Structure 1
Amino acid sequence: MRDHITTLTDIALPSLVLNSPLMDNSDLDRLLSVGVDAHCRERSGSFVQVDHQVLHAGAAEPGLEVLSTPEALKRYDWLKDYWWQIVPAGKDEFTKYAQDHTHNGYFIRALPGAKINYPLQACLYLAREGLTQCVHNIVIVEEGAELNIITGCASGTKAKSGAHIGISEFYVRKGAKLNFTMIHSWAEDVEVRPRTGTVVEEGGTFISNYICTHPVRLLQMYPVSYLRGEGAVARYQSILVAPPGSKMDVGSRVVLDAPATKSEIITRTVTTGGKIISRGHPVGQVPGVKAHLECRGLMLAPQGLIHAIPELEARAEGVELSHEAAVGKIAHEEIEYLMARGLSEEDAVSTIVRGFLNVDIPGLPPALRDEIDRAVSATREQGA
């Protein structure tokens, strides 16, 4: 496995130049499908890594830093105190592997009080057939700062198989806000295992949006947030569509470890033949905390599977934990209602699925919204 690419071919873009012999113009559509705007319109900065090589890292707004993690570790001695602190290196076989095989990843930092106007975009791209990409990401949103990140992870047209192991550690300081959106678009024979941990301090807010509407051999992720300051908030929203042959095991865990902390875990799942395990687990450690867990699923094919596993864990008196879970098919009455108003049966199903997924995430480019609409259309065809 080569660690570095030495022969470079330029792909010239108006605002973003990507240098790699492994990419051509057909890959640019893949970048767009996961939220990367090559023109950097209304973007505060960009990070792009292809396989093991960082092709671009830079910020366009004051108060924001974007570097590769090795470069950041060289620049800041204190950063080693953030390395493998939320996600233990010995957590499982994949973190152990990543500890010895990590190549780059992004370091993103919003400085104290910085209100970053536009989203920052990041892309981790798998271009080589059969490659295992291991990255380690660090995000720090300092006290009083606000940051919106859109991360797109995808495999290229030449990479039909491979693996992605992503270690991510997020630090949300006192009164800070991080809105983190991750979009995945992998090939049918790729295995994906993100390992993510977040610490939220007093009055801080962490919002995680996750979207995967494309085939993937195996997706397994279980991010954890630790609410360690009074009034801290964490919200997870996941949207999953599993075509035939895909297996997705996705969940979120929030540890409410300080007074007046709150969390919400919302999951929307659709299967057109694939398997989805949907997990959620809020843990109330102190009195007066609140958490809500909601999982809803649509079965559009008889061979599909949705397994919802909600857990509520109260470790103190006075906690308020609740959950809702529902899995079923589209009611025929809903389809008839829309058909009576002039829609075809296919359009009626698409309208219902689109409303069920209800994607409303700030900062998404039009190309990605179109991609989500195409995924909805595909669910109709696959579930037919």
Structure 2
Amino acid sequence: MLKQKDLEDVLNVRNVSQKAAKAKDKKAAIGTDVTIENYSEETIDAYDVIDSLDDVSKSTQDTLLKVGVDSDETNRAGSFLQVGQSNIFQDSLTGDVELLNLQQALDKYNWVSDLMWTTVQADADKYTAKTALRESEENVRSGYFIRSKPGTKQTFPVQACMFIADQDVIQTTHNIIIAEENSELHLITGCATGDDVSSALHVGVSELFVKPGGKITFTMIHNWAEQVEVRPRTGIKVEDNGTFINNYILTSPVHSLQSYPTAHCVGKNSRALFQTILNGQKDSYIDSGARGILSGDGASTEVISRAVSNDESKIYARGHLAGERPNVKGHLECNGLVLSDDSSIYAVPELEANSSGLELSHEAAVGKIDEDEIYYLTSRGLTEEEAAAMIVRGFLSMDITGLPPALAKSTQEMIDMSVKGI
């Protein structure tokens, strides 16, 4: 006979599966559509578990380093590597942080299932539906579970990588991240493809929970191949006096990206900050933004983006702030630099005030490089190309808030590398 908790889990899985099944053909509200059936599915045991990140090839190690994942784990609190659907490596280097794959977490804690599909809905679109159906119908539970223990504060980040090694496959992952009460957790997650992979589909569902007084910095660096379709789906819940900081950096061409993480600031004085750096190249179609739902007393959200469009790229920079009660604050800021007549940037700010006594604002500026700046630099010996690259690097430089100094420095170096040669 099933225990009450087991029965609830069965009913919950059944409910999620039913919702997902109804949404399996549901297009996303924004961004380009992708035909999921064009991509093949890998099993969770397609790749063997490894003992060390040094066990992957040198070329793979070099690729991982470009997205902030260091194979020798220098200045890291732990590591996780998923190749395709296979969770092949995990290593927690401190007792203050618990690092498991998703299936291990479900086996260890019966409450993990209660968190799944609460900040991201299984029926949001065909991509979340695909992830949920693979979990419930095919028992494909790929992804990581990372939890900082109460009262602990990490200096170094946990690093996690979602890597695609095969052509024309779909990778789905479901991640659960928790900062327990009065704890601080840094996470850097890099996503990349192998050298011989040109086309694939990545769907990453991430659900983050910031408990009272907790803090999470979530830095995501993407380095994809030119024909890869990318669909991250991220939801965050921030409780009393909690802080969530999201840094997103796109350093390479991509066929299409559509991302719109949503922070639910439900706690008193809860705070969310989104910082995005986009370098649109070739014919990339990028639809990126962030949303803050402000329902806690004194809650606040900032959405800041820097975007540069090159070649024939198109960038949509979105932001949405919804104030649900008095005494909340929010600000949107988008700055774009158009470097090619065949490229474009669209700033799409939305402010939604559902109460009086709140403060929401936005500012946006999109333009080209100032010719006077080019002239000034070329008159001092630089070529036009060198001058333009220097201006772009300066434009994309941003205080990567919330990161340890060494990691912030290396992140800025990656930004500089991404604009090299412009």
| Shared fold per TM-score greater than 0.5 | yes
Q: Which residue of 2 aligns with 1:183?
A: 221
Q: Does 1:31 align with 2:68?
A: no
Is contact 1:32–1:367 with CA below 8 Å preserved after alignment?
no
Q: Does 1:334 align with 2:373?
A: yes
Q: Does 1:294 align with 2:333?
A: yes
Q: Which residue of 2 aligns with 1:375?
A: 418
For residues 332 and 366 of structure 1, the distance between their equivalents in structure 2, rounded to whole angstroms, comes to: 30
For residues 246 and 193 of structure 2, the distance between their equivalents in structure 1, rounded to whole angstroms, comes to: 22
Q: Does 1:303 align with 2:342?
A: yes
Is contact 1:37–1:365 with CA below 8 Å preserved after alignment?
no
Counterpart code for 1:329: K
Q: Does 1:254 align with 2:287?
A: no
Deviations 1:302-345 (A, max 9, x none): 10011111001111101111101111000011122233344332
Counterpart code for 1:252: A
Is contact 1:33–1:367 with CA below 8 Å preserved after alignment?
no
Structure 1 residue 61 displacement after superposition:
1.3
Structure 1, gaps ≥5 residues long: none
For residues 54 and 188 of structure 2, the distance between their equivalents in structure 1, rounded to whole angstroms, comes to: 19
Give the length in aligned residue pairs: 372
CA RMSD of aligned residues (A): 1.7
Give matches, 1:346-365, under 5 Å: 346-361=385-400, 362-363=403-404, 364=407
Is contact 1:87–1:195 with CA below 8 Å preserved after alignment?
yes
Q: Which residue of 1 aligns with 2:111?
A: 78
Q: Does 1:146 align with 2:184?
A: yes
Give matches, 1:6-85, under 5 Å: 8=48, 16-18=53-55, 24-85=57-118
For residues 196 and 412 of structure 2, the distance between their equivalents in structure 1, rounded to whole angstroms, comes to: 25
Counterpart code for 1:26: S
Counterpart code for 1:111: K
Q: Which residue of 2 aligns with 1:316?
A: 355
Is contact 2:42–2:84 with CA below 8 Å preserved after alignment?
no
Is contact 2:46–2:85 with CA below 8 Å preserved after alignment?
no
Deviations 1:233-260 (A, max 9, x none): 1000000111121100001000010111
Q: Which residue of 1 aligns with 2:43?
A: 3
Of all paired residues, the percent bearing the same amino acid is 45
**SS of the residue 1:40 aligns to:** coil
Structure 1 residue 50 displacement after superposition:
0.6
Change (3 A) 1:226 1:367: closer
**SS of the residue 1:324 aligns to:** strand
Counterpart code for 1:266: I
Change (3 A) 1:366 1:158: farther
**SS of the residue 2:257 aligns to:** strand
Is contact 1:165–1:193 with CA below 8 Å preserved after alignment?
yes
**SS of the residue 1:377 aligns to:** coil
Counterpart code for 1:375: S
Equivalent residue for 2:131, pick from 98, 101, 108? 98
For residues 327 and 270 of structure 1, the distance between their equivalents in structure 2, rounded to whole angstroms, comes to: 9
Structure 2, gaps ≥5 residues long: 1-40, 135-139
Structure 1 residue 59 displacement after superposition:
1.2
Deviations 1:192-232 (A, max 9, x none): 10110000001000000000021111100110000001100
TM-score, normalised with respect to structure 1: 0.93
Equivalent residue for 1:230, pick from 240, 264, 268? 268
TM-score, normalised with respect to structure 2: 0.85
